[in-house]
A and B are shown apart, each in its own frame.
Chain A
Amino acid sequence: MSDTVEFYQLGGLTVILLFIAFYGGTFLVSAYIGKKRENADGYMTAGNKLGFGISAASMTATWIWAASMYASATSGYTYGISGPLHYGLWGALMILFIYPFGKRIRSVAPKAHTLAEVMHARHGRSSQLMLAGSNIVGSVISLTSNFIAGGALISLLSPFTFGQGVVGVAAGVLLYTLWSGFRASVLTDFMQVVAMLGAVVIIIPTVFLAAGGTQMFEQGAENLTPQQLNFFSSDAFLNQGAPYIAAVLAYAIGNQTIAQRLFAVREDLIKKTFVTATVGYGATVIGVGMLGVMALYLGINPAEGDLNNLIPQMASTFLAPALLGVFFIMILGSLSSTADSDLSALSSIMMADVYGKNLASKKKKPNPKRMLLVGRITMILATASGLYFASGGLNILDLLVFVGALWGALVFPVIASFYWPKVTNKAFTVSVLAALAVFIPVRFEWFPMVGATGYVFDVLSIVGIGVVLGLMAFGFFGLKPAKIVGLLAAVASAPFVLGFLHEYTVLTASLAAYAVSTLVCYFMSVRSTQNFDFDLIQERIGDYDSDSAPEPTDLPATK
């Protein structure tokens, strides 16, 4: 096929009607649950008692965003039949691997609103602000990325421009999220997930049949390289899968949208919710990735050489106009559900971490009404900044990969802080800063990775691999198996890493961040005499709207 494909476009009136149906519907639902007087805790975590259906739907909808669909299809097109697995499977495991830690975090801080708020109760201000700062950067980038995806979708499939699309999506999301915050976000997530998952169920088989069914695989095999035909492709693993495995825990720890749902769901439903969301996310994103695999078999070239055009191109080529409308809603649902979660996450961080713990009077409890005002102003400012960055033409996916790797510096200090009473505020802060000091020069290749330098970073990468796999095992099986898994992983990977991995700077920087933060945090804590009493966290974090609101405290480590 030619790479100058003309897209079949939906008419301007059709797009306006789809917009009104989608955002009008979500706004009506939001208005239905709206209270004249919202309370601050409801605005941040819906009172910590969401049921399974709504929380699992919300977790699934939030984790599926437009970029994940585009990236999975790109992976399928680039790496062949195993490509979507190496994107979607590891992304799904990000949800699964965090739930054992989530249960622990929730048990020590049942009334928390943000992870950074818990860090404040555990360590103090510097740790809290580091985590809150990284959460804010991640959420603003994610928000911007979703606005860009909306603009791109509308400019490709309608007569409207990119700028008009970005403004339309931003206004639509803000409209239904502003008043009721997280409550509106989770309830509309349910509607959006039904639309998204329903669309996937219809669209994938329809494209498969329209593209020729099994004939496509018989006739198109010659379009694939041996690596692309190989289900166990090493290319796909090394270039797509391995960097994602390194990011599995980092995204889950660094992303406030996950933490917010962790604190919102009823405590006994955490496992069920996270497991369902894992399966829902994985199947949806891998399924959409099959569009990329089919495009590869069909010999389709992405329009204008841009792989992000692949999904709309497949939809435009093989779907009837009515189903193209369904596809439009699927993408709109995926980007809106994540964008509203980003707005809720940002407002919670500003309410609880910036206002509640730092700006409110040191002598009085934070004022819930003022907190709500802070949350709503945050949403408006966040939307404005998302619009600003979206119009700046930044490479958002590159930024997101950067932030994801950056979050690797936080993983060990955050997790260790919930289990090991010896970890101090100083150890947390210094270890994260040390990891960043190593991560940034490596990531941006400020010095050449030659000779002994390369070997030093290969050794750090080996330690990083041990830390990542050890932490994953620790969540499910405890300390002893984690040590064995970590050690085995490090030893087994050493022959393949030494003298080789430093050539992959993104992966090396990420693994070095894990290694340095772990080593510094461990050696600074192991001789510490602190024996933190975890019951203090529960005492220090409560509801803002009730009498159990936390009193200001100077944070001693023991009672």
Chain B
Amino acid sequence: MSLAAVCAWSFLRSAAVALFAALLSQPLANVLVASKAPLATGSGINGRERTRRRAALLGRGVLWGLLLAPFLVPPLLVGYAYYRPALMLVHYPRTTEAIYWAVLFLRFFAAAVLIRVFAPPSPLSAEAIHCQRLLRPRNKARLRRWAADVFTWLRGSGQPSIAAFAVIFLSAFQEFEIAALMGITAGDVQSPASWTVWLFNWQAGGAPLSESLTFAMTPLFYELVVIVPALILLGSWMSSPWRVEREADGSVRARVASEIFLIAATLVIAGGPSLIVFRGALRGLQSRAATGPLLPEIGIAAAIASTAVLLIGILCAVALGFAPRRLRGAIVSLLCLPGALGSLVLSMGVLWLFQQPGLQSLSQSLVPVVLAVAFVLLPRSLILTAMLGSSRRAQAAHCARMLAQSPSAPQRRAAARLIDELEVRRFFWAGVLVWYWAYWELTAPSILAPPAATPFVVRMYNFMHYRQDDPLSVMIVASILVPLAAVALLAGARRFVVRWVLQ
């Protein structure tokens, strides 16, 4: 299968997954927004509200946990879990393809929901759209009326859907780890196709970088087909000062349906892999299976991720905060371009760069891998930062900062709590999310990490190839729990530091 054909197939698959996720995220986001609103308490609860409360099987925290679990499960783990089912289906490539579509959808749809919940709501209210329809002359042709409706949708209520579609499309289109472990190939006669695997295979026996870059142009073209229109359309949305209230759906039926869907998604994407891993880890611990010196490698991965987050933070601040407004679009596009090439091509480019005489002395450092990881994650991080910035409640934050100047200690304490809520907490958790992505990034470290500093994820992937279940499961559990504990500690420290500084 030629690269163009494989790319076209990958494009279709990613577009279908993204479309489905963008559509399905709407009712889910509405339910989550409804669950965000505090419930009325006391005797004033009416019958409908009481029914709604009874129907809510799961609390708000559990609902969010279920939503995020499939999204945050490392892709390696998902691929690892689906390796065997895919193998059993080797004679049924269409079924394997269908499973891959389902896995991609269930893994990424949470991102679409998050975009709908946290991104700024539409600048056009339903009333405004209705008024516009009423004002439209009745004698216009049907096609023109339809075009006007589409235009209104694009400039108004459709914008969160477009953002969700673009982000899911990019994530699904660039996916590699699950495809590789599920045996998705470069498009042989009997198997489904993925351009990432095709490009990987093309490197066999060594291909010049220029050739790889030439090949990377085809998938890049497909990405730009989605990214460029999305950026043009979303620019006005992000910068619009007009906001309307977000829709919320508190109906019992929607809530129950959402809960069932989220439980199923979590079981399929997070539950299965977790069961395999924890069962194996238990056996591994009982039999004291050798796990190898993993802690230093977890430390190396954490150091790479932390440095990458630091760099990403600086670049995001420069691009979205300090750069002149008229240059912002160009700077953001320039910063996103390397990441849009995909992890493999970008890492090869960085490898080549650090073989050049001026930079060669840094080739055995972590600088190349940190740079590559940062640029791989930069598009996602910029979207995240832009979303956080545009949904920021600036007036409330300003009031809280003024309150922090108060001579009264209780008021300063309250201000510290408010500032933490309004400003620090959001960026902290966004940083944790980017750090998490960097921590589990595989392709860049496997190509660029120097011999003295191989992160755990590279070693683990190597082990996964040989199905060493029990020791590997112990390693996986350790690699999840150690940073989890560190993040929990940091989250606690964050509250303490914010209050200590502001009081």
Asked whether A and B interact, the reply is: no
**Which residues of chain B have a CB within 8 Å of any CB of chain A?**
none
